[in-house]
Structure 1
């Protein structure tokens, strides 16, 4: 990932961390879009004491671990120069059982004691993160959404042209690998897609048919940009169950920033839900990683290129 490129959202985060401590800062977005890099850049710009910890490792996912990290953040705040705050960064915090209640308790303790500790929460499963925020932390946080990189960002950071962006998409971590297409595809499939499915969805949410979830993802990539009825999806997928299951799995994939099913626009909610969705990948890298074409082959295939 290009650590020197500064995404526009960086200015917002720096400005909020310069203010007196008011709210938790919650930074959400798919994996590998630069959440951790952006926070590190903000801390470097501010030149303040900081402690970073990640709960992505299953062995660390406990409330005791969370309390230990918070205490380390408080230590940074006590050691900060007079008049300065410190920053505690907790990555993938939504993977800790009952995390929201623990965060609320520690945050309120610091508010009462006047501890100058800013807290930034990072998460790559926005649906799960926001569920905890709404349940326990209402009124205590601000949300910053970091999406996939757009063409202008990839051009500025890596010198890409439009055709490269259309084909390779907007994952900065994969950008240095594009000269070796097979290696690039393996990286996207193994380090991005499979990690997202296994760590952000299957571990965190009950999924009765994991193999079906993966097939729904592949189908959405193959038919991205096309309207496909749920009945036709059932015909394409083995052991698909019913349309409710398919719609639920599409919602899970959308919450992780992979693919979605866009409903037909209608004034009535009932008509929206009954409509056939347009399948859409959030990042064209996901489509290319599943296909077998080179960029030159893709350009001349007008049906594929669009």
Structure 2
């Protein structure tokens, strides 16, 4: 079972403020399912820009949209008709009232740039993530970890059905979706790249190594990375280096955002298999990071910390330039304070330290450092 999506109240607030609201997220994450049943203050009109019949209605977008000026118009898969942004800008400027347009998009690296140029000051953006822990039942955290949070994977009737959905999602994304968002290249190369990223989950990005392994140039693999990040498939976690005098690692770390897709990409079908694979630690690390970011949202900036001397912290939560929390993530039931976390806290001036591990509850392991379960951290 799944509880109500946490983003609904924020979406309704945005609709009461902005003339246009952009709800972005990966394919099949549930954007349309979330928006269509909402109770709007006025009548709504839904257009799916993947359908030729709906695109035909917008051959003269100004005329069509003015005809429906009193409605909330929902434009789904907006990246297929980015030229609409300039029309929306003109219509909003003529009649600036909140909740006129809802833009749904699977995003591309230039989607935000195009819309930001056209609708700056007129649109508020929200990201719809796959399900996260606050949105599922209390006994389903392990299921969420192994299957991931895409609705049709998480809610599948069996593990086999979930596996098949994820395998077909990966195939469709590579063969169709990437081209639709602007990356025209050999899908087999991108698949190899994606699987390599999965096997290197949480590793420091080295574009030169990936380029050599794939037999392509470094700008090419950087472009692949950009498109995978822009379509919400991967998380590029930046290093923290503000006011630090030590020699630091300055390349980002890369994670497959959804652990269900991660497990399919590296050939893991069940929790039993995951428990016998060396990748379990990096899988848990990526899962925890995504749960924290999905839950805390824009409250913090998110970084990692690593020095060339070996001090490392998996996640820093930063607000107003100050490190509020330093987090180490361990797949263990017996957490300990590591030297790396202690040094990282001293270097960054972190106010609190946490070791998030596979326990329930919390207990202190040092001054200002708690060992804590993921659920407790999210609700704390």
TM-score tier by shorter-chain length is 0.7 to 0.9
Q: Which residue of 2 aligns with 1:14?
A: 12
1:164 corresponding residue in structure 2:
143
| Runs of 5+ unmatched residues, structure 1 | 78-85
Match status 1:196 vs 2:173: yes
Q: Is the 8 A contact 1:221 1:259 kept in 2?
A: no
The one of 162, 169, 184 aligned to 1:207: 184
Render the CA deviation track for 1:4-35: whole Å, top value 9, x for unaligned.
74212111222343x3x752111111122222
Distance in 2 between residues matched to 1:168 and 1:160, nearest whole Å: 14
User: For the residues of structure 1 that align with 2:183 and 2:52, how far apart are their CA atoms?
Assistant: 17
RMSD over equivalenced CA pairs, Å: 3.1
Provide closer, same or farther for how the CA distance between residues 89 and 69 of structure 1 changes in structure 2, counting only shifts above 3 A: farther
Normalising by structure 2, we get a TM-score of: 0.63
Q: How does 1:103-252 map to 2 (within 5 A)?
A: 103-111=88-96, 118-125=100-107, 127-153=109-135, 155-156=136-137, 160-177=139-156, 179-181=158-160, 183-190=161-168, 192-227=169-204, 229-237=206-214, 239=215, 241-252=216-227
Q: Once the 2 structures are TM-superposed, how far is the Cα of residue 264 of structure 1 from its aligned partner? A: 4.0
Whole-angstrom distance in 1 between the partners of 2:60 and 2:177: 20
Find the aligned partners of 1:72 and 1:126 in 2 and give their Cα distance: 30
Check conservation: 2:72, 2:100, Cα contact below 8 A: yes
Q: What is the deviation of 1:68?
A: 6.6
* Residue of structure 2 aligned with 1:278, choices 219, 231, 253: 253
Distance in 1 separating the partners of 2:63 and 2:4: 31
Deviates more, 1:197-206 or 1:25-34: 197-206
* Inter-partner Cα distance in structure 2 for 1:296 and 1:208: 34
Higher RCO (C-alpha 8 Å, min separation 6): 1
Whether 2:31 is the aligned partner of 1:35: answer yes
CA contact (8 A) 1:51 1:89 kept: yes
CA-CA distance at 1:65 after TM superposition: 6.4
Aligned to 1:83: none
Confirm or deny that 1:291 pairs with 2:286.
no
Aligned residues: 276
Aligned to 1:95: 80
Contact kept? 2:143, 2:154, Cα under 8 Å: no
How far apart, CA to CA, are the structure 1 residues paired with 2:202 and 2:18? 42
SS at match of 2:158: coil
More helix by proportion, 1 or 2? 1
Cα displacement (A) at 1:144: 1.6
2-side partners of 1:31 and 1:160: how far apart? 27
SS at match of 1:249: helix
Cα deviation code 1:58-114 (max 9, x no counterpart): 67546516457525633xx2xxxxxxxx31111112211522112223333444xx8
Larger relative strand fraction: 2
Where does 1:6-85 land on structure 2 (aligned, <5 Å)?
6-17=4-15, 19=16, 22-43=18-39, 46=40, 48-57=42-51, 60-61=54-55, 63-64=58-59, 66-67=61-62, 70-71=65-66, 73-74=68-69, 77=70
Tell me the SS of whatever aligns to 2:202: coil
Shift of 1:117: 6.4
Match of 1:81 in 2: none
